[in-house]
Structure 1
Amino acid sequence: MSPWIQYSLVRLGLFGVSFGLLMAAAIDWWWSALIASVIAMTVSYIFFTSLRDAVALDLAARRERPAADPDAAAEDAVDNAPENSSQS
């Protein structure tokens, strides 16, 4: 499983657990969502550094790869073709 999926699932799980506990404590849903977001962010930032670093490395590796465009050569050939002199 790719690291960004793992990290996203961990963050969503932290949010879900925090949100559920806050809702069980009879806190308004929007306060619960806000507090759960902050909890999920801080816990994942502090305790899941290795997963976050793996996501950053994966994104950097994807950025370094050239984009695959199979039609690029054909499009460049059409763009660079000399103009037809019969068109005026």
Structure 2
Amino acid sequence: MPLLTYTLLRLALFGATLGLLYLVGLRGWLLPTVAVVVALALSYLTLTKPRDAATRWIAARTDRRAAERAVFPKGDADAAHEDAEVDKRLQAD
């Protein structure tokens, strides 16, 4: 799952930045604040491919859900699936 990969990479980048800034001597409330800003900038610059993959995955998922809503306009996809299963089992008996 590309979204999970991208999230884990960003968390790892934040942890590495936090550790590096701690070793440099930054302490207190400023340490996580600067680490977040630096990790955000680094992730924007370095994680282009995983970010694009996550974006494509989210877009595909959104398209699939929109297609399901077009077939079942009231959002009754689960109910329709359950009804089909019940009908199938009743016909089998």
Common topology (TM > 0.5):
yes
Point out where structure 2 has 5 or more consecutive residues left out of the alignment: 69-75, 83-93
4+ residue runs over 6 A deviation: none
Aligned to 1:63: 62
- The answer (yes or no) to whether the contact 1:18–1:39 under 8 Å persists in 2 is yes
Residue 72 of structure 1 and its aligned partner are, at CA, apart by 5.2
- The answer (yes or no) to whether the contact 1:23–1:29 under 8 Å persists in 2 is no
Point out where structure 1 has 5 or more consecutive residues left out of the alignment: 75-88
Whole-Å separation in 2 of the counterparts to 1:25 and 1:8: 26
TM-score (norm 1): 0.70
Which of structures 1 and 2 has the bigger CA Rg?
1
Q: Is 1:8 aligned to residue 7 of structure 2? A: yes
Structure with bigger helix share is 2
Residue 49 of structure 1 and its aligned partner are, at CA, apart by 0.8
Whole-Å separation in 2 of the counterparts to 1:73 and 1:9: 34
Q: Which amino acid aligns with 2:23?
A: A
- The answer (yes or no) to whether the contact 1:15–1:37 under 8 Å persists in 2 is yes
